[in-house]
Amino acid sequence: MPTGTTDTPMPAAQAQRPPVTPLSRGRAVLASEWIKLRSLRSLWTTALAGFGFSVGLSFLVCSSFQSRWHTLGAQAQAHFHPIDISLGFLQITSLFFGALGALVVTTEYGTGEIRGTFVATPQRPLVLAAKALLLGLLGFGLALVTVSAAFLLGQSRLSGAVPHASLADPRAAGAVLGGALYLTLTALLGLFLGVLVRSTAIAISALFGVFTVLPVLVNNLPKGLVWRHTVPYLPSNLGFSLWHSHIEFLVRPMPAGSTLALYVIVTAGAGLALLRTRDG
């Protein structure tokens, strides 16, 4: 009787299964994260609230200037910038987008779903990269629609003797794109901050403190060397540089965008480091 081992035939289904490659794994993670993202009701509610706030505030502010233009003094009229006036809502809308980004990850931590995500995909950096990529694309689309709609509606209220602008004006188009970039980077900052704190309430509170409270506090400091090298580089003031007419103490738009992106990268690095070392 012959001796030895006999190879067991591989099942046909297993033999035909395509090999897992980094590309196929990445596509699978993106598909999974997109399903979760689009089904997150709090995200769409926050985006809708931000849109309504932005459009409504732009409309009200521009309507106010239109109705009382004849009562303004010559100096106020000379320093009137229609683009800045209709985009002033961005100082608050950034909080909506920061919260939107935080919700992408803190909701999973709140429900415990994040554990299942990491069991299905142990490559945690890949999960975080997929969330950031999808949020960046979706966030920019939502931001561009929000800023454009608010700008157009606001400018439609400025007519006659009141200076107004259109998107055909390169300065206006640049301000709208800058505002959309600002909101997108804020959303990504909120995402990575959410990874750090794993709590929606704490993440939103931190965003509120950094973007709203901190600028007010430090702006009252003596405007010396320290002030000039710190205050203009706060995230909110960097965002201000991306859409507002240039003010003397502000950073120019290009370095402002790069510095704000650096904030996002540093926060992402810190979040990734914690994501690798702690449990779900």
**For 125-156, what is each residue's pLDDT tens digit?**
999 999 999 999 999 999 999 999 999 999 99
Assess whether pLDDT exceeds 70 at residue 4: no
Instruction: Judge whether 7 lies within some domain.
Output: no
**For 103-128, what is each residue's pLDDT tens digit?**
999 999 988 888 888 888 888 899 99
Reported pTM: 0.89
Instruction: Judge whether 4 lies within some domain.
Output: no
**For 28-46, what is each residue's pLDDT tens digit?**
889 989 999 999 999 999 9
Angle between helices 235-243 and 253-277 (to 10 degrees): 140
Instruction: Judge whether 5 lies within some domain.
Output: no
Instruction: Judge whether 152 lies within some domain.
Output: yes
- Total number of domains in the chain: 1
Instruction: Judge whether 8 lies within some domain.
Output: no
Structural domain range at position 150: 24-68+75-277
Residue type, 258: S
pLDDT attached to residue 19: 72
Instruction: Judge whether 189 lies within some domain.
Output: yes
DSSP 211: I
Assess whether pLDDT exceeds 70 at residue 9: no
Are the C-beta atoms of residues 142 and 179 closer than 8 Å to each other? no
Instruction: Judge whether 236 lies within some domain.
Output: yes
Instruction: Judge whether 157 lies within some domain.
Output: yes
What is the pLDDT of the chain when averaged over all its residues?
A: 88
pLDDT attached to residue 217: 85
pLDDT attached to residue 116: 87
What's the pLDDT band for 263 if we cut at 50, 70, 90?
A: very high
